[in-house]
Amino acid sequence: MSDKWWLPFILLVILASIFTMTEAKSQTIELTNFQDRWAILVGVGAYPESSGISPLVHPSDDVHKLKDVLITRGAFESSNTETLTDEQATRKGLEGAFQKLRSSIKANDLLLFYFSGRGARVSELYADDEQDGLNECLLLYDSTRKSEGNFFRDAELGQLLNSLKAKRTVIIIDACYTAINRNAKAITTSDDDAASNNQRDGIKNDYIPNGAVILEACAPDAETFDGVFTSSLVDTLRDDKAHGADGIITIQETWEYLQTVLPNQRTQLDRIGVLSSISLIQPLIKITSQPSGAEIFVDNIQLLDESRQPAITPVSIILSVGEHNIKWQKWGYRINLLSREIDAPGKQEPVPLKLEPASIRGKLVYENSNKPIVDANVLLDPIEYETKTNNQGEFVFNDWEQYKIKTNEKYRVQVRDEKNRVPFREVSIEPGKDFYEDKIVDTISLRNLAPERRMVSLRNIGIMIAILIVVSAAAVWFLIIRPKRIREY
């Protein structure tokens, strides 16, 4: 056997380390790839007596407690959070809440839909949209036992969610669909009684949008009770110790912790085409720049958008608790670095930055004396950007907001002196891909034309004087001397 039998094992260890590092980096970038978040929070407990549905005590409080923790620790904006409780939470009210958000939600946003109230199961509304042949239903304020057709079905919820543009949706349901115990948050129906436990499923069907994570208070064949699940959920979202010290609580971590505090309910988590690393609680920070369009690096990792292209300012990102190094980078501007300390989840103070432009600069001097050429016109062609030299003969081009300079294009610095002191000169320059620092044009030395023009002027004056003398002499000869001699003869 070769004495280097251990080399393949070393290679495997190295490859595994590289793979692990790559995975960690990828996950970090995913967590920071984020825009706005929105919420529709629904709680129904005060069912009308005429509905035949027994009232609940806690749903309205559940909504307000969850809204508070989402705003204070999840960085949800209050204006982006719709709440419907009791008599507000009708079918019309719920459809109106979705309609209100329809024009505001963008593709990169996150939508949270939450319901606390009673649930039920009835025969499916559309054929083959459920494995168990049953629709899970949420009982809104205007639901009645006498007319199960007006129950709000999961298929209808899916259609409303699909009407929005959000690619990421979190659905949290504090209800159950089976009422073995009379205190359970469900009502029993004949359709549910006919189904066996292994047939039942939760809020998931062909109409729930791709990219949804569904967290339900209990397993399809289990029960939850008033004031239990949401209370534990809010405590979980407030408890940093349950999820480590990074200040980020993901749906996956939330589900895992709830399983330990509510073991009998077997809290349900389903993912539809999306990872459950989506977070509800996190430090959220908005990074802007003037001008906009700067690429952002956090701790040497570049932020990417949904299409895996560099994300540019303005952008809202999630950062873990601790100190972070933030870098702005925009072509044609200087690179900026900033250290930022994050000490708790929630909305952080925004980080605005005025970008300082990199410049194309140079100097004009006279050829023999090296004296600066002052107040000369200098043009950056072909963008027709014109400036003048200062008292030191220096010129600077750096107004890239008005004059759009492009990567990988060649430009020409042209000297055009209207006072005709120096000859026309043109110098080529290519900023290149690394135009984050000043580009210095070599000092341009030009011949001083002014003395030459003075010599020409003196020579012309001498010639004119000579001509004048000749003409004057001729005039004297013909007008004075010649006539006099003629008379003498």
pTM of the model: 0.77
- DSSP letters spanning 233-299: HHHHHH-GGGG-SSS-EEHHHHHHHHHHHSTTTT-EEEEESS-TT-EEE-EEEEE--BSS--EEEET
Q: Is 10 exposed, middle or buried (0-12, 13-18, 19+ CB in 10 A)?
A: exposed
d(C-alpha 127, C-alpha 215), whole Å = 25
Residues forming beta bridges with residue 296, ordered by sequence position: 328
d(C-alpha 224, C-alpha 174), whole Å = 8
Nearest CA to 337 out of 328, 350, 348 is that of 328
Label the pairing between strands 346-347 and 283-287. Answer: parallel
> For residue 415, what pLDDT is reported?
94
Q: Is 25-281 in CATH node 3.40.50.1460? A: yes
> For residue 467, what pLDDT is reported?
81
d(C-alpha 83, C-alpha 39), whole Å = 8
Q: Could you identify the residue written with the tokens 């009502």?
A: 187
Cβ atoms of 153 and 126 within 8 Å: the answer is no
> For residue 471, what pLDDT is reported?
80
d(C-alpha 26, C-alpha 18), whole Å = 12
Cβ atoms of 314 and 286 within 8 Å: the answer is yes
> For residue 220, what pLDDT is reported?
86
d(C-alpha 118, C-alpha 43), whole Å = 9
Q: Which CATH number fits domain 360-446: 3.30.1320.10, 1.10.3720.10, 3.40.190.10, 2.60.40.1120?
A: 2.60.40.1120
pLDDT tens string for the chain (489 positions)?
455 555 554 544 444 444 443 333 333 334 334 578 999 999 999 999 999 999 999 999 999 999 999 999 999 999 999 999 999 999 999 999 999 999 899 887 899 999 999 999 888 766 555 566 788 899 999 999 988 878 999 989 999 999 998 878 999 999 999 888 888 999 988 775 555 555 566 777 658 888 889 999 998 888 999 999 999 999 999 987 667 678 889 898 899 999 999 998 888 888 766 666 788 898 989 899 999 999 999 999 998 877 788 889 998 888 889 999 999 999 999 999 999 999 999 999 999 999 999 999 999 999 989 999 999 999 999 999 999 999 999 999 999 999 989 888 899 999 988 777 888 999 999 998 999 999 999 999 998 887 644 444 555 666 777 788 878 777 776 777 767 666 666
Q: Could you identify the residue written with the tokens 């004075």?
A: 480
d(C-alpha 343, C-alpha 321), whole Å = 5
Radius of gyration of the chain (CA): 39
Cβ atoms of 59 and 85 within 8 Å: the answer is yes
